């Protein structure tokens, strides 16, 4: 189950099933149109599971991740279940690449209703053994990838006065653990974005 944290206070975060109206498109004629959902980090793990679940409910899915073969496998899995998906190899640490992917999804499926920022990377190592470039990459993907995804989504959603941005959080934003300093550091930044995520 995906947790949606779109309010400024942690205690206002809701489970998607309890507050699905936050992410529902307008209903016309009593029938809800298919949603268009973009998920970053969609080729494996939580991102892929989220994509598959949205597809089961009829959403058209934009899959963003770097690995082409895993994206193709995720897209094939969704399509084999009767869903629609578009895998776009994208490095979320590249703001222009995120914008291009956003445009490509909208050309294929129409306006984006839900954007899920899920992409992350880390380095499992004692802090003294991590290079500056490794810290930089983990921060760019985990934190700036969320920033760039949010910016791309809001650029379109605000003018339409509808949409939903989901920030996939982590308990490690609140309590760090050994061997995970790049990820923990990047995730402590995410809660600040929750205040702008709801339209």
Instruction: Give tens-digit pLDDT for 164-199.
Output: 998 876 655 556 556 566 565 666 665 444 444 443
Q: Which residues contact 42 (CB under 8 A, 6 or more apart)?
A: 48, 50, 51, 61, 63, 64, 65, 71, 74, 87, 118
Q: Which pLDDT does position 184 carry in this prediction?
A: 59
**How much is the pTM?**
0.78
Compute the mean pLDDT over every residue in the chain, rounded to the nearest whole number: 77
Q: What is the pLDDT of residues 104-157, one digit of tens each?
A: 999 999 999 999 998 887 766 777 777 889 878 888 888 889 889 999 999 999
- Residue 6's alpha-carbon distances to 35, 70, 72, 143, 190, in angstroms, are 19, 29, 30, 17, 11
What pLDDT score does 196 carry?
A: 44
Share of the chain above pLDDT 90, in %: 46
Q: Which pLDDT does position 9 carry in this prediction?
A: 31
Give the pLDDT score at 173.
54
Domains of the chain: 34-196 (3.40.50.720)
Q: What is the mean pLDDT of residues 16-30?
A: 47
8 Å CB contact between 62 and 86: yes
State the Cα–Cα distance between residues 3 and 12, nearest whole angstrom.
11
The pLDDT confidence band at residue 22, using thresholds 50, 70 and 90, is very low
Average pLDDT, stretch 17-38?
Answer: 60
In this predicted structure, the answer to whether residue 62 has a pLDDT above a threshold of 60 is yes
Average the pLDDT over 77-104 and give the result.
Answer: 97
pLDDT grade for 79, boundaries at 50, 70 and 90: very high
* pLDDT for 169: 64
Which sequence positions are flagged as catalytic? 183
Q: Which two tokens stand for residue 119?
A: 């992409």
């Amino acid at each position: 189950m995906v947790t949606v944290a779109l309010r400024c206070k942690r205690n206002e975060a809701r489970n998607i099933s309890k507050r699905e109206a936050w992410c529902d498109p307008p209903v016309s004629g009593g029938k809800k149109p298919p949603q268009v959902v973009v998920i970053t980090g969609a080729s494996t793990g939580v991102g892929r599971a989220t994509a598959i679940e949205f597809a089961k409910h009829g959403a058209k899915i934009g899959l963003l991740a770097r690995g082409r073969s895993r994206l193709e496998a995720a897209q094939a899995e969704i399509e084999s279940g009767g869903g629609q998906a578009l895998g776009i190899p994208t490095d979320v640490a590249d703001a222009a690449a995120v914008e291009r992917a956003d445009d490509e999804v909208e050309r294929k499926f129409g306006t984006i209703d839900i954007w899920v920022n899920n992409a992350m990377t880390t380095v499992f190592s004692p802090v003294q053994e991590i290079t500056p470039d490794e810290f930089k990459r983990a921060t760019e993907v985990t934190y700036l990838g969320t920033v760039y995804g949010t910016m791309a989504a809001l650029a379109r959603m605000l003018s339409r006065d509808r949409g939903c941005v989901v920030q996939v959080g982590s308990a490690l934003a609140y309590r760090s653990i050994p061997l995970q300093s790049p990820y923990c550091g990047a995730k402590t930044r995410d809660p600040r974005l929750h205040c702008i995520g709801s339209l």
